[in-house]
Amino acid sequence: MARSLLLRFLHVGLASIGSVFGAASLLAQSSASTDALPPQQVLARAIFQELIGINTTMHNGATKAATAMAARLKAAGFTDTELTLAGPHPQNQNLVVRLRGRGQQRPVLFIGHLDVVEALRADWTTDPFTLVEQDGYFYGRGTTDMKDSDTALVVSLIRLKQAGYVPRGDIIVALTDHEEGGDANGVDWLVNNRRDLIDAEYCINPDGGSGELKNGKPVMMEFQTAEKTYLAFQLEVTNKGGHGSLPLKDNAIYRLAAGLGRLAAYDFPIQLNETTRTFFARSALQETGQTKADMLAVAQTPTDLAAAERLAAKSAFYNAMLRTTCVATMLSGGHAENALPQMARAVLNARMLPGGSPDAVMATLRTLLADDQIKVTRLGSNNGSPLSPLRPDIFAKVERLTAAMWPGVVVTPMMSTGASDGTYLRTAGIPVYGVSGSFTDVDDVRAHGKDERLGVKEFYTAVDFMHELMKTLTE
């Protein structure tokens, strides 16, 4: 929608935005699609369109988006003392917003990253940096990861502010940069440089948990309390090499390949925690037969290891929920086709369970490789983060709200097999709970891919969910 058309319906306007969006056909489509929407959805659509239209890939940074959201919030009544732009570089500014409360509880923090992964116009059916509504979906880079949730956070703050809502304790929202990569991560920078802005009793991270659709039907709401830790290791073998016509048994590539073969045959031990036990117990409610029986057996203490191994063999996801994993992801070696290799190198990607030790993972690798000539080097310094305790009070509120909005949907504690900004906060002593009202099809995951999209109905419902969640947690 042209910004000038939209702002006539809103009291939160930003000036001089109308020229941002391109073709008249898209403007007409956007304008027509908002005619029957209630005011809060018109507002949500406008902010969503604005955020998608700002290219916040790594080389552009998120400052423009952070500044735009600060202007939206200031126009809605937030003062300069409630809005802070801060970050390591001019193009990597983070926006921290504080809705002041009654001081009867510690603040609750909500986080969302504004940056997105790269998207090339030639790869997409539509322009990735223009919000397009088509066939019941919103298309654009960031529609699911995670400008939809950024929009929900901003809209919720505006609605609460304009309603005169005063929470029990402060509500803090941090919209940050470089979650998707780079050396200027916003949450990490805030923890280490401006802890005062974001210090809270706990954090809600919409990027850590979402809803699942199967055949168009909502079936599960994730409640993330933990995530695995990303570790990278380099394996390297070197020797003197020689002429290809005079092969030797001591070959760098063969040595490395033999070690990798031993690694490939190994599985780290089964290990469950409070979150994963509850995950399998609740997931069993949607299963039948042997899978259901195995999930219930795994959820018991002590763990039924045979049942766990059957689940691990059934699904790579279940396997990743049950143990630390380590896999070779890159391989290189040799310098000429007619010469014996002087070097062979591999990179391993490990995902360590919460509470694990990187040194212990390295020690396991050295034992498995069983070859002193394979040099093992750890890449990076990520030490992981602890499990956030499964707080019954927060979980119960999410359950009640979910039941009211999506009857029959099971709220399920989750350990992410990937990583998010929650790890920096958990390491700093701030528990993090990943939850959002954004439901996506488990068989059509397009985040980071081409033609990323989110259902129109799912978008507006998620915006309402975040508004109600903010209230529910702070009333």
Domains located in the chain, CATH noted: 33-226+386-474 (3.40.630.10), 227-379 (3.30.70.360)
Pair 408, 183: CB distance under 8 Å: no
pLDDT at 19 over 90: no
- pLDDT tens column, 258-301: 999 999 999 999 999 999 999 999 999 989 999 999 999 999 99
Residue 246 β-bridge partners: none
**Which pLDDT band holds residue 6 (cuts at 50, 70, 90)?**
very low
**Which pLDDT band holds residue 182 (cuts at 50, 70, 90)?**
confident
Q: Which of 19-28, 433-442, 445-454 has the lowest mean pLDDT?
A: 19-28
pLDDT at 15 over 70: no
Coil, strand or helix: which one is 174?
Answer: strand
How many angstroms separate the CA atoms of 140 and 454, rounded? 9
Pair 104, 111: CB distance under 8 Å: no
**Which pLDDT band holds residue 380 (cuts at 50, 70, 90)?**
confident
Pair 56, 116: CB distance under 8 Å: yes
pLDDT at 474 over 50: yes
pLDDT at 59 over 70: yes
Q: Which tokens in the block code for residue 103?
A: 């001081």
Q: Which tokens in the block code for residue 42?
A: 């018109």
Average pLDDT, the chain: 92
Q: In the predicted model, what is the mean pLDDT of residues 23-43?
A: 62
| pLDDT at residue number 33 | 56
- pLDDT tens column, 403-432: 999 999 999 999 999 889 999 999 999 999
Residue 174 β-bridge partners: 96, 111
Q: In the predicted model, what is the mean pLDDT of residues 172-201?
A: 95
How many angstroms separate the CA atoms of 420 and 96, rounded? 18
Coil, strand or helix: which one is 324?
Answer: coil
* Rounded CA Rg of the chain: 25
Ramachandran angles phi, psi of 17, nearest 5° = -115, -10
